[in-house]
A and B are shown apart, each in its own frame.
Chain A
């Protein structure tokens, strides 16, 4: 805890640490400490890149006291969603928030149901009704296009309400959190080892990032030192996950414009990578590798060779794919100047990952924080400045070559530390800590608090898609509605891990 304050002074304290955006808001969440004799609390986590650290500002509410606090959203736009979520989950109200509609809980929940309060049972099946109004633009000749939650393709569920001026999208409101499974409540009372299978299944595409952030936090609390070989393997898995997802995205983005040869080549390369992942982990999504204290399975010499040969093949395929993109002029026509996010917007919304880096905002946990083997790899974020679909495509291609290089170095390191231990013993005690890692979509932040018996009292998960979703709704403004699938795919935001 870096700063403990009262709720009334939260705004002033947060603005001071925020320093006009120098220290972006990484996460903001509530906690119920009534079991410890205190009241509710709100944690604001700011990133301090110059110190490679996070500053935690905690506002503690008096037990039985007022449940409102001044909203940060006007000063720190990135706080908008977090404050809505805190209202849904704990019933703490941000006074002066411009849009306090529900976020996570839809119509079937009653108005006064706050699931993350300790007084609510984990399996409380309370039924009720609440309003969830979509935001639309009104005016002569304007019309609405409702889409979802079930889409025409194989996509995750979300409801989009487009306000159209002819073909142009004037405004987009997204109703998300359809796959909200109550995972932060589900892990409460479990030990980190018992909760691991749930954390691993928050999101399919970022299993490694989620487990790594979670285990980092658990290991910090327990004071466990992860063996070097395990750190190398974790870093390698993280890069493999990035390569698999980025290659998948390169094959998926052309699907937004029906560019079939590229879809076919991209999905073929992705399948090769998925099979490689299965060879390493026994699961095509790399599940069952990272555990608190280290990793569960070794990467043998045989596997090292298999990784080398698959990555060489895929690297060649990615070059071909990049050449296809470059030379297909009608494809270039569609992706250039489409779905622009400006640098200022990216910083205001505290965007992360590919979305941020394509808008000239060099945000990357691999260089902003010291974790895994990254400090030894001399890594620099890859950025573009245009902020359009083309920039997001190019950032992925650029990052892929960096990842291929890093994987080579990591494999060499692995060969030089054969036979070293894979996992340290972890003894849990009470405490709280954060963990962060760079998922393929951007920084993945976990906050973990354990009680005296080493059981989870609070887990907060902020995946990379969380801060980027609001940016998507801004990026589409003014573009034509047929470009929406393309813009959406260029962000490749995940629903499951924001919904939790």
Chain B
């Protein structure tokens, strides 16, 4: 008993301010430019159809993107082969792609992280067919580094106690009913977050006999968080924006 207490006191406070920047190699939001003849190749190599070419430029559908880096790899390979100097070549930055508010039609701003107090949000997690990476990251939000509780966000054991349904995974046939029933069991006002590329875009594995697609095929989605899986900071930014949305709806 005494040893346990001693060990607890030895640790300093680990909670830190949330950074939306990953390590140097982290594959986050895409940035830079690619030669016009490379764009169609990037589009072809994208396994989930997130890379779209429009009017000689590219657009990334961050709902679908799994941040695999295949598009940036072929651009880098082409440059290497031709031996030309390319400034600001298409690459993954180490910044998280930000959560997106569907009704407002815009991304969440990083400032959302600065206002910490005066919010409350109860979250029910629902795995609708994920690979468990998003779920592990959701668990990680409660570790001492991110300490989700300090923001007034808590996980509820039942959808009846929840303000927000946090859906992960492509919705499978075997879980369709569970998703519908959980949504229906929630009291108004209620929000739905599609967390990660599977729930948000639904294209990770393509269309199979066993999946129905993204969460918005079954329930209305209010906010989606890109990433495969999203890092905990991006999830937290999404949750705080959702808490603000909820407060607006209660007015």
The answer to whether B178 touches A157 (Cβ under 8 A) is yes
Residues of A within 8 A of B204 (CB): 197-198, 201
- What CA separation (Å) do A179 and B28 show in the bound complex? 27
Residues of B within 8 A of A182 (CB): 205, 208-211
The answer to whether B136 touches A204 (Cβ under 8 A) is yes
**Quick one: CB contact mask for B1-43 with A, threshold 8 Å, 1 for yes?**
1011001100100100000001111110000000000000000
> A363 in the interface, Cβ–Cβ < 8 Å?
no
- What CA separation (Å) do A325 and B183 show in the bound complex? 40
Q: Interface stretch among B102-110, B166-174, B239-247?
A: B166-174
**Quick one: CB contact mask for A155-189 with B, threshold 8 Å, 1 for yes?**
11100000000000000000001111111011000
Residues of A within 8 A of B205 (CB): 181-183, 186, 198, 201
The answer to whether B66 touches A154 (Cβ under 8 A) is no
> A77 in the interface, Cβ–Cβ < 8 Å?
no
- What CA separation (Å) do A89 and B175 show in the bound complex? 19
The answer to whether A204 touches B207 (Cβ under 8 A) is no
Min CB gap B145→A, angstroms: 5
The answer to whether B144 touches A267 (Cβ under 8 A) is yes
The answer to whether B27 touches A179 (Cβ under 8 A) is no
Residues of B within 8 A of A203 (CB): 131-132
Near A by CB (< 8 A), chain B positions 192-206 give 204-206
How many chain A residues touch B (CB < 8 A): the figure is: 69
> A328 in the interface, Cβ–Cβ < 8 Å?
yes
> A434 in the interface, Cβ–Cβ < 8 Å?
no
Selected from B92, B159, B174, the residue in CB contact (under 8 A) with A282 is B92
Nearest residue, chain A, Cβ from B135: A154
Min CB gap A278→B, angstroms: 5
The answer to whether A285 touches B25 (Cβ under 8 A) is no
The answer to whether B131 touches A149 (Cβ under 8 A) is no
> B133 in the interface, Cβ–Cβ < 8 Å?
yes
The answer to whether B7 touches A324 (Cβ under 8 A) is yes
Residues of A within 8 A of B135 (CB): 154-156, 204
**Quick one: CB contact mask for B137-149 with A, threshold 8 Å, 1 for yes?**
1111011110000
> A354 in the interface, Cβ–Cβ < 8 Å?
no
Min CB gap B228→A, angstroms: 7
**Quick one: CB contact mask for A250-267 with B, threshold 8 Å, 1 for yes?**
000000000001001101
Nearest residue, chain A, Cβ from B2: A327
Residues of B within 8 A of A328 (CB): 1, 4
The answer to whether A179 touches B7 (Cβ under 8 A) is no
Q: Interface stretch among A115-123, A217-225, A338-346?
A: A115-123
**A180-B143 contact in complex given A154-B125, A496-B130, C-beta closer than 8 Å:** no
Residues of B within 8 A of A180 (CB): 129, 172-174, 210
Min CB gap B117→A, angstroms: 23
Q: Is the interface of B mostly helix, strand, loop or mixed?
A: loop
- What CA separation (Å) do A150 and B14 show in the bound complex? 31
- What CA separation (Å) do A279 and B24 show in the bound complex? 7
> B51 in the interface, Cβ–Cβ < 8 Å?
no
- What CA separation (Å) do A282 and B28 show in the bound complex? 9
Near A by CB (< 8 A), chain B positions 227-249 give 228-229, 231
The answer to whether B144 touches A268 (Cβ under 8 A) is yes
Selected from B3, B14, B157, the residue in CB contact (under 8 A) with A327 is B3
The answer to whether A126 touches B23 (Cβ under 8 A) is no
Near B by CB (< 8 A), chain A positions 325-362 give 327-328
Nearest residue, chain B, Cβ from A500: B210
**A282-B132 contact in complex given A180-B210, A328-B1, C-beta closer than 8 Å:** no
**A194-B174 contact in complex given A204-B136, A204-B229, C-beta closer than 8 Å:** no
> B126 in the interface, Cβ–Cβ < 8 Å?
yes
- What CA separation (Å) do A122 and B210 show in the bound complex? 9
**A264-B209 contact in complex given A179-B172, A204-B136, C-beta closer than 8 Å:** no
The answer to whether B174 touches A106 (Cβ under 8 A) is yes
Residues of B within 8 A of A1 (CB): none
Min CB gap B152→A, angstroms: 18
Nearest residue, chain B, Cβ from A210: B131
The answer to whether A150 touches B126 (Cβ under 8 A) is yes
The answer to whether B25 touches A115 (Cβ under 8 A) is no
The answer to whether B157 touches A282 (Cβ under 8 A) is no
**A280-B7 contact in complex given A152-B158, A274-B140, C-beta closer than 8 Å:** no
> A489 in the interface, Cβ–Cβ < 8 Å?
no
> A275 in the interface, Cβ–Cβ < 8 Å?
yes
> B223 in the interface, Cβ–Cβ < 8 Å?
no
Selected from B25, B134, B176, the residue in CB contact (under 8 A) with A204 is B134
The answer to whether A282 touches B23 (Cβ under 8 A) is yes
- What CA separation (Å) do A475 and B185 show in the bound complex? 34
- What CA separation (Å) do A296 and B25 show in the bound complex? 12
The answer to whether B26 touches A106 (Cβ under 8 A) is no
Near B by CB (< 8 A), chain A positions 67-109 give 105-106, 108-109
Residues of B within 8 A of A270 (CB): 140, 143
> A271 in the interface, Cβ–Cβ < 8 Å?
yes
> A287 in the interface, Cβ–Cβ < 8 Å?
yes
Could you list which residues of chain A lie within 8 angstroms of chain B, going by C-beta atoms? 105-106, 108-109, 115, 120-126, 149-150, 152-157, 177-183, 185-186, 194, 197-198, 201-205, 207, 248, 261, 264-265, 267-268, 270-271, 274-275, 278-285, 287-288, 296-297, 320, 323-324, 327-328, 494-497
* 5 intermolecular pairs with C-beta atoms under 8 Å apart: A157-B175, A181-B129, A197-B48, A203-B131, A265-B7
* Extra inter-chain contacts (9) besides given A181-B172, A268-B14, A288-B27, CB under 8 Å: A123-B209, A150-B127, A154-B139, A180-B172, A181-B211, A201-B204, A204-B135, A248-B136, A283-B26
Q: Which 6 A-B pairs have the closest CB atoms?
A: A204-B133, A182-B208, A182-B210, A152-B157, A282-B25, A267-B143
